[in-house]
Structure 1
Amino acid sequence: MTKRQLKLGLVLTGSGGPGNHNLWLDPEIPANASVDIDWYIEYAKKAEEAKFDLVFIVDSQYITPDSPPHYLSRLEPLTLLSGVATHTKHVGLVGTLTTSYNAPFNVARRFASLDHISRGRSGWNVVTSGDAGTAGNYSLDEHYDYDTRYGRASEHVKLVQALWDSYEPDALPRDRATGQFLDASKLHELNHRGEYFSVKGPLNLERPPQGRPVIFQAGDSEQGRDLGAEVGEGIFTHAASLAQAKAFYDDIKGRAVSKYGRRPEDLLILPGVGVIIGDTDDEAVDLEQHYRSSDHSFVQALGEFGRSFGWHDFRQYDLDAPFPQQALRYAQNSFRTQAERIAGRAAEEGWTLRQTVQQSLRRDRGPFTGTAEAVADRLQEWFEERGVDGYNIHAGHPAQLGRFIDEVVPILQDRGVFRAEYEADTLRGNLGLGIPENRYAGAQEEEAVLAER
């Protein structure tokens, strides 16, 4: 068996995502980084030189003036990644696309196109859209409820995967001698009529180099975890401790096995983490606190606080009164799981609104804050203890990412925990995931075997 190795992704949020409204003030970051294709290409190349598995582009489609700078003006993920693809050769290219506001046919075509452009390096981060306001940008009065969102998502992903199989691998002989371009017997209509979608097919693009682009997923509700266990091959999540990481790891992989008949190795758990490195542990802690205080403020946090609650405006409440539990009703079709955690903790601790918002700013020391050696130790520990299969590193401040690449990655490589060279030319190959069999070719092979008996 091939030795299990750590996987690394790089999350690129340009001028600053949630909780980092002032990241763009760092002079090493272009103020327009989120719309600067050269910036993305530069950082994708850095990730590739360090042998990262992938770069990851987050996305959403609803903003308010309180949204973080990166959200206010950013490039559409697949357009962006197509540009990056032409300047890289190995690093995977993963973009977010919602199942709630995209048709399966278009999603299948766009990701298959990226897979061809990149020669087999594309991945789809499946989301159902947590920002309830998105509905208003798509001619709907309100966002889908949780059950509908995840029901649509499950059917949507399966349809996209089926469309990627429209052509069998050898359906296009392109034989000039015989004049045959297409073997029509190996092109298949889908003719799907389901609960949420009707799609005739076939897809007007031959099978992607990876067979199917890699499916990623990040939901944390019960429905979200089930969707990840059902269709996810990479799971994006968050974990504040090894115990929390292990609980999530065991839960998702357990669901995949018990409910969907999958193997534990069929999906990889990749939490997003911030890394702060100093010459000493104390210096790293000081840097962490400096970044937290300079990258965000109470006023900004209060304005952004309503995102989990359907962008409900908490500035209307008395800051020193108890946390307004009635605001939970605005979260029903938004980021409900996160909102319930916030409100539950506030009730449990008896916090005022001010204290609840301050708590979002006053985080404990991160698990990956310390010297390069200490950070490498902790990353390796979580991996070997089966809390994770890898990490999505938030790019954050360029100086810190530089230290991670220059100091931490070589330690992990010297220990044999992380690769020194790419194992494959595709994202699927580097992640250790097999190429899915084409459903039609497999069925025909099975019929041929049965006919011979």
Structure 2
Amino acid sequence: MSARKIVLGTILYPSGHHVAAWRHPSTQVDANIDVAHYIGAARAAEAAGFEIAFISDRLGVPKSRAEALRRVDEWSHGFEALTLAAAVATATQTIGVVATASTTFSEPYNLARQLASLDLISNGRIGWNIVTSSLQQESDNFNPGPDFDHAARYARADEFVDAVLALWGSWNPDGFVRDKESGVFLAPDAVRSVDHEGRYFRSKGPLNVIPSRQGRPLLVQAGSSDAGKALAARTADVVFTAQTDIVSARGFYQDIRKRRAASGKNADDVLILPGIFPVIGRTKSEAEDKYAELQDLIQPDVALSLLETYLGDIDLSGIDIDGPLPDLPVSNSIRSRQALLAGLARKEGLSVGALARLIAGARGHWQVIGTPEEIAGQIEDWTASGAADGFMLLPPTFPNGQDDFIDGVVPLLRDRGLLNPGPRTGSLRERLGLPALARNRPDDGRNRAGNQTQANGT
């Protein structure tokens, strides 16, 4: 039987994806401010053949119960994502580095040049995780600016991506003469202005950072609301999504591909990677004991605070934690995750407290507890049934959780022919098997009717 190849990425959390990971005996208590920790995790994934090291980010500290805030390490990250991406990129050779950056509190020109610079530094291995910054605590850190409404944030993000792509496309990659004898460095058509005038942004261009061999950074999108899926289908090279089971994952996969085709693009040119939170043991019982050990480290206020954040900054004070999750107002922030967790609570008949403990590790992603053989088999099932093109690993702890997956599951995936034995060199786009970008086009062919971005010769 011909096996379908999969893509693997890993999320570079400080001590692990479980909210209590920092308390586990195996983790480094100051990992959040140790750049060597992040570099070591990325290098281990690179050596195992992973294609992506993913760096998450937020622009503020979530609204938390005061006591809970004192009991977690993840909101005190020592590094801004693009800065950390530079450190990881220069310390690795083949793995792609995907960094998170907001469209709500950034300007296209600044972010376009930062990401293009990273792409040059990494020799074509950078991706941009496009986020719309949904927490009120993020908005409170900036001058009054854009409408914070969910629909308006995505409308802004839509134009933001168009403007960034136009800026990245302002250079002709074949236009560099660099002839010392004649004194000509650039061909006449090497660079073009952009002249973007839209509802939210203006930028004349051109960008003052040239493209890498990749052409431009990859676009990664993780929103799963209707607006998020629309943005992903139109713009993304890679979609990172939270799905709890194979049925919902297959439905999401098919929806994105249909939307992609409807936008006039090839549905095969986008990769969909659900998150996977694996707890691995030599036996099923050992894996369950590992999970129970982590769960025993959860502090109640921390679990409830995390749940409040993932429900979209909902205040659960005064709620009976032993009772069912009440009906919630539609979130203006993490809308898709709110719907996912509320649906999970109803489906499983979970109390508020039980839901808080359940999501403390996977946070709405696919959680699997078992032996390497069991987990490899389930990964194969998801891939074969059209639910995923690969997975983003959410290690319960660092480094042990990632090491368990690399040592136990990766060899089995390789034996089953599931891992791509393709190039270990080349740009991130090449390693992922995505088609080459069209050349000599100022906006990568993305302008739609009504978009005011123009390309004029300079």
Q: TM-score range by the shorter chain?
A: 0.7 to 0.9
The Cα of 1:207 is off from its aligned counterpart by 1.7
Relative distance call for 1:346 and 1:49 in structure 2 (3 A) is: closer
Partner of 1:391: 391
Partner of 1:218: 222
2:264 paired with 1:261 = yes
How many residues get paired? Answer: 435
The Cα of 1:237 is off from its aligned counterpart by 0.6
5+ residue gaps, structure 1, are 444-453
Deviations 1:381-413 (A, max 9, x none): 211211100000113322232121112111111
Partner of 2:6: 6
SS of the equivalent of 1:130 reads: coil
Contact 2:135 2:333 in 1 (8 A): yes
Contact 1:281 1:369 in 2 (8 A): yes
SS of the equivalent of 1:138 reads: coil
Partner of 1:412: 413
Deviations 1:253-310 (A, max 9, x none): 111112x01112110010111112211122222322332332x232211223321455
5+ residue gaps, structure 2, are 445-458
Contact 2:170 2:443 in 1 (8 A): no
Contact 2:276 2:365 in 1 (8 A): no
Partner of 1:15: 15
Partner of 1:288: 291
SS of the equivalent of 2:27 reads: coil
How many angstroms apart in 2 are the aligned matches of 1:360 and 1:77? 24
Contact 2:275 2:391 in 1 (8 A): yes
Which of 276, 285, 300 is matched with 1:273 structurally?
A: 276
Which of 176, 200, 204 is matched with 1:200 structurally?
A: 204
SS of the equivalent of 2:317 reads: helix
Task: Give the AA of the match of 1:206.
Answer: I
How many angstroms apart in 1 are the aligned matches of 2:443 and 2:323? 63
How many angstroms apart in 2 are the aligned matches of 1:102 and 1:365? 28
CA-based RMSD: 2.8
How many angstroms apart in 2 are the aligned matches of 1:36 and 1:77? 14
Relative distance call for 1:338 and 1:413 in structure 2 (3 A) is: closer
1:51-450 correspondence to structure 2 within 5 Å: 51-64=49-62, 65=66, 66=68, 68-140=72-144, 144-258=148-262, 260-294=263-297, 296-317=298-319, 319=321, 323-325=325-327, 328=329, 331=331, 333-343=332-342, 353-354=352-353, 357=356, 360=359, 368-397=368-397, 398-420=399-421, 422-440=423-441
How many angstroms apart in 1 are the aligned matches of 2:410 and 2:342? 39
The Cα of 1:173 is off from its aligned counterpart by 1.5
Relative distance call for 1:81 and 1:438 in structure 2 (3 A) is: same
Deviations 1:14-50 (A, max 9, x none): 1345xx3321123433222122111111111101100
Deviations 1:305-337 (A, max 9, x none): 321455343234454676454x526x3x21133
How many angstroms apart in 2 are the aligned matches of 1:354 and 1:162? 48
How many angstroms apart in 2 are the aligned matches of 1:51 and 1:263? 27
SS of the equivalent of 1:174 reads: strand
Deviations 1:339-377 (A, max 9, x none): 345456667888765565456469999653221112111
Contact 2:19 2:360 in 1 (8 A): no
State the structure with bigger RCO (CA 8 A, min sep 6), 1 or 2: 2
Deviates more, 1:50-59 or 1:357-366: 357-366
Contact 2:10 2:393 in 1 (8 A): yes
% of aligned pairs identical?
34
Task: Give the AA of the match of 1:311.
Answer: D
Deviates more, 1:219-228 or 1:238-247: 238-247
Relative distance call for 1:25 and 1:344 in structure 2 (3 A) is: closer
Partner of 2:29: 31
How many angstroms apart in 1 are the aligned matches of 2:344 and 2:370? 28
How many angstroms apart in 2 are the aligned matches of 1:109 and 1:148? 25
The Cα of 1:251 is off from its aligned counterpart by 0.7
Deviates more, 1:159-168 or 1:419-428: 419-428
How many angstroms apart in 1 are the aligned matches of 2:25 and 2:218? 35
Partner of 1:451: none
Relative distance call for 1:337 and 1:4 in structure 2 (3 A) is: closer
Relative distance call for 1:199 and 1:353 in structure 2 (3 A) is: same
Relative distance call for 1:354 and 1:197 in structure 2 (3 A) is: same
How many angstroms apart in 2 are the aligned matches of 1:153 and 1:77? 19
Partner of 2:45: 47
SS of the equivalent of 1:185 reads: coil
TM-score, structure 1 normalization: 0.88
How many angstroms apart in 1 are the aligned matches of 2:311 and 2:284? 37
